[in-house]
Structure 1
């Protein structure tokens, strides 16, 4: 894992030298349009790149997730093996920089890694004391070694040789020692000189991101014994030597495969489960375990989600996760008796292979760790917090969307329904902002049965159409409606008009019940009204045009969208004659029933909007 993604050229060069997918022409095409060597590494574009990285701290936190996933996967398939002896044991390595260490997400993630005693994790820290603006002393003077030791890390320091470079033998010894430490993560501090051995810019911020001048480049080549007139020229004997790495890798792979086949023979049932999970398929009959809720009940969708999660936990062993210190409120505890904790932790239910993760108040790290778990493969991860704190997670969410990672985010307290918590905890702009993110799917179910259907759809999509999903859930109870499988299509007719509709009311989440009450008023007044539930606009937009037309026919231009959030994402659906009943200001403190009335989220307000839309459509049609 290259957390310091701006150093990706060194990674590309290693992939070229060792023969893993890149050629010299790819190095020459560095940072150009259409190349597989962009200015920061991109997962899925370049062979050998384990994660997209560059936003500092993200790669490091992702590596922590990989290490956690490796431990959980070992628990699924080979829990009885001695430490370091399982075919599932492996080390996660990450290259980090001083920029990574200064990011908040880095501290969140490394704090959790130390707490979890992740002995399968090693960070290599390039301590060159230079940042983009010059010396790190301008903004940073903490004791990095002491900080990591305080978080429970094993720390090794490697000083430079008299030449100014790191001696390979000392580096190798440090890496071997770090890999041998199995009871805690390790940090290897490398005291390096940035730009070494460039004669004038080495050790300065100029070497951080500015290309060397022609004169500086020539002088550097002379110091290294190269011909300054030759460019992108590698001697054949160098390639012959470096590509022996593939031979060593193939021998190691063959040795591992023999051990793996022995494991398969000794554990046939676990091997069968391993094959299913590797194929990203779900267990037989898993859908039959998903609960169906009885219409007429009133259930918060966060509670319904918890019941679905508990039911799935019994049949989908690869599903695990937790919350950022709000598990009791979020209903994210998949197994109360099995908490993912290291050996020696005194809490009841602690198990190094436990299913329930206590992320602590670390929302940003939780998001990046979930990315790492998913990139590692072999399991399915979810994580929960309140919707308003999705803001703390944005960089990790964006990385998941870029990489198409099928992570599952659970976000409760999805509106002013939070009530007395006040404006700081009442999400307004979050839904629109998340919907604006390419490749991210926002799901806001109307009731308990919609919650069950969308959970099923998300799990199905993880293997068929992988993408990150965020499920926004209510704190307050909502009435349970009849189950409708079309909820999996993202938008559907939840209640049809008595005649050809004169107006369409579309809503998400708890506002669907407001739309249904408004429909009754309008129908009693002789206005044929259709109600559409839109749990996921991204899924709806994927549907065939014929289906979308059947739900939102173009001939019905009078439309009203209802959502207790910013109106920004609804104008494309209501058109020029439509109306949006939403909230384009921050909330207030008070009982949620009062807030809905004061902010105009009432059946009466929807009825007024519907009549305005009908009149606007009539006037526009006449014109």
Structure 2
């Protein structure tokens, strides 16, 4: 390593120490230890263009240990992304673009929001799946248009989290050769040495997963690091892990190699000593030697040349393979083909009915042929969730053209992998499991909502109606939990036709994730001629059925999913007692809350204050819609193991109970 490179690496270390000290908050030690790896990646290895951070042919970088974000911020700033030195000075401050952990959409050059350990590791696996799909579908001889790599830096903490094991296992199984991960083996966590809780042989563990594994004994040996990364790039049939032994807080005379360098500022005096140790002026903060800044800017400028070369390749590709180029360009634009929903199924009225999971499967298959980058699968539950796309094959080492993904029994990794796929422009990714197991994937759901990206979740077996599997599998609190996540749209369709509308809404929604909540049991298919001319699922709630002409409603019955048909039955019986009820189908709180006040007043006039909400789940949250004079028929306890119909009757989800509740509310008992 020449003197300029060493100076450049040390400048990043000092920058990290200064920024954390100024913020009086953060993690200085890890970026200080990782600076040589960062230098090799940004100066020697990765293809990127700071002036166009999203060009399709770029390499992807994921900082799974997001607490080390100053490493990423420093190199983004130095290589010419739209980040200023002032942004580094405002690290962790209000309205700054340099948050305490990397945030997609906030900081130019950040590929994915990371911070909760292990998430970035699994996000990269999703990116690797998407890359392999793109390469298989679009690459041609002499036209490697999608031949990029996914680089990630992972910490000891990432390796301890279970999600990394789940994701590493499936990455090895799928032979994702585009993954090159660097493990920052600094052997320190917040509590002290990793030996307190972690002594496994990580190398052997990853070899057993089917990864290519290398070791670099000295985290300052940039030549050996570069050599190892190049070997990782050359390994096309297996993902690569490079274990690099580093020292946390490298260069700090009193705190290097200790837990005190991990999650707190080094202290004013220690930062001075760091600067003196590296030959910097201890009285100057945020010092970037001019030759270092020029050096990295020149490297960043080379990215424009790399992108121009890729553009020429793409132009020639487009001439040779115009249909493929057009297909990718349309998908990447985010626009949907004009006829994508032409074959969405319409279901005939039926008292025997259909489970909404079954209707969902038919809708999914109908739209998949129009959307070539719609991909997904289930956590080993495709037959139960009806999420296997017919005739489109399973994605595997031997069949990279398949569009059905098999995540195995790995709900947590599935959620994060979906995020990685979705972050690859053009893809629409879905994942399925039982609603109860959405709890296993809450972290990636939350991160998708933070990022405003659009994975689709298919959660079936949505209530006590699933029956004999009992309390462990019967969701009660999951619906309200999902509804509490900002920017997540939850849709619980009332029947097969609403399910078709639900898929249409989910595919059309582009500003955040969508969860479709579906039944295991059959429920009636409502008569479209009677009800669906007014169907307005996209508005969240709508008037499904009114009293006979000339009668004004005096009570509103509202609900979602499998309980809506109970409301219709109750409405009919109430007429016999001279009680006029309006029935409102309420599949999505989030979509309804976005409507203007005039529409809300149309559905829920302030003059109709008697209201009943019915849902076989926690009643929490419905008070917003039923008001002070209404009531909720819900579940404030767990279910039991018994046939679903018996449980519904046992816990009051019957037309009779709704009728009695309405009469009581109106004082007409």
**Which residue of 1 is the match for residue 40 of structure 2?**
none
Q: How big is each residue's C-alpha offset from its partner over 1:246-301, in whole Å with a ceiling of 9 and x where there is no partner?
A: 22211111111111111111111111111211221122322211111111251100
Pick one of 499, 503, 519 that aligns with 1:474.
519
Shift of 1:245: 1.5
State whether structure 2 residue 93 is matched by structure 1 residue 32: yes
Q: How big is each residue's C-alpha offset from its partner over 1:369-410, in whole Å with a ceiling of 9 and x where there is no partner?
A: 001111122211111000000000100100011011111000
**Which residue of 2 is the match for residue 321 of structure 1?**
376
**Which residue of 1 is the match for residue 406 of structure 2?**
358
**TM-score, structure 2 as length reference:** 0.88
Is the Cα contact below 8 Å between 1:336 and 1:356 reproduced in 2? Answer: no
Is the Cα contact below 8 Å between 1:291 and 1:311 reproduced in 2? Answer: yes
Bigger shift: residues 33-42 or 278-287: 278-287
Matches within 5 A, 1:223-622: 223-296=277-350, 298-336=353-391, 338-343=393-398, 351-462=399-510, 466-481=511-526, 482=528, 483-484=532-533, 485-498=535-548, 499-615=551-667
Pick one of 145, 150, 168 that aligns with 2:222.
168
Q: How big is each residue's C-alpha offset from its partner over 1:415-454, in whole Å with a ceiling of 9 and x where there is no partner?
A: 0011000000000000011101111111100100000011
Q: Distance in 1 between matches of 2:631 and 2:606?
A: 16
Is the Cα contact below 8 Å between 2:138 and 2:145 reproduced in 1? Answer: no
Shift of 1:337: 5.2
Matches within 5 A, 1:9-48: 9-48=70-109
Counterparts in 2 of 1:81 and 1:563: CA distance versus 1, 3 Å: farther
Bigger shift: residues 466-475 or 219-228: 219-228
Pick one of 142, 146, 149 that aligns with 1:88.
146
Q: Distance in 2 between matches of 1:247 and 1:577?
A: 66
Q: Distance in 2 between matches of 1:314 and 1:234?
A: 54
Q: Distance in 2 between matches of 1:378 and 1:156?
A: 34
Pick one of 217, 234, 238 that aligns with 1:159.
217
Q: What secondary structure is seen at the aligned counterpart in 2 of 1:190?
A: strand
Q: Distance in 2 between matches of 1:27 and 1:337?
A: 48
Q: Distance in 1 between matches of 2:621 and 2:651?
A: 18
**TM-score, structure 1 as length reference:** 0.95
Pick one of 46, 66, 69 that aligns with 1:5.
66
Q: Distance in 2 between matches of 1:20 and 1:330?
A: 44
Bigger shift: residues 480-489 or 491-500: 480-489
Shift of 1:215: 2.3
State whether structure 2 residue 267 is matched by structure 1 residue 213: yes
Shift of 1:195: 0.5
**Which residue of 1 is the match for residue 41 of structure 2?**
none
Is the Cα contact below 8 Å between 1:338 and 1:354 reproduced in 2? Answer: yes
Q: What secondary structure is seen at the aligned counterpart in 2 of 1:382?
A: strand
Q: Distance in 2 between matches of 1:13 and 1:382?
A: 35
Q: What secondary structure is seen at the aligned counterpart in 2 of 1:420?
A: coil
Is the Cα contact below 8 Å between 1:440 and 1:467 reproduced in 2? Answer: yes
Is the Cα contact below 8 Å between 1:158 and 1:166 reproduced in 2? Answer: no
**Which residue of 1 is the match for residue 165 of structure 2?**
107
Q: Distance in 2 between matches of 1:124 and 1:54?
A: 17
For structure 1, the 5+ residue unaligned runs are: 344-350, 619-623
Q: What secondary structure is seen at the aligned counterpart in 2 of 1:94?
A: strand
Matches within 5 A, 1:52-71: 52-71=113-132
For structure 2, the 5+ residue unaligned runs are: 1-61
Shift of 1:336: 4.6
State whether structure 2 residue 155 is matched by structure 1 residue 97: yes
Q: How big is each residue's C-alpha offset from its partner over 1:205-259, in whole Å with a ceiling of 9 and x where there is no partner?
A: 0000121122222222122111111111222222111111122211111111111
Shift of 1:613: 2.6
Is the Cα contact below 8 Å between 2:333 and 2:426 reproduced in 1? Answer: no
Is the Cα contact below 8 Å between 1:335 and 1:355 reproduced in 2? Answer: no
Q: Distance in 1 between matches of 2:377 and 2:288?
A: 50
Q: Distance in 2 between matches of 1:448 and 1:547?
A: 25
Q: Distance in 1 between matches of 2:131 and 2:475?
A: 35
Q: How big is each residue's C-alpha offset from its partner over 1:277-328, in whole Å with a ceiling of 9 and x where there is no partner?
A: 1221122322211111111251100000000011112222111111000101
Q: What secondary structure is seen at the aligned counterpart in 1 of 2:458?
A: strand
**Which residue of 2 is the match for residue 348 of structure 1?**
none
Aligned alpha-carbon RMSD (Å): 1.4
Is the Cα contact below 8 Å between 1:2 and 1:96 reproduced in 2? Answer: yes
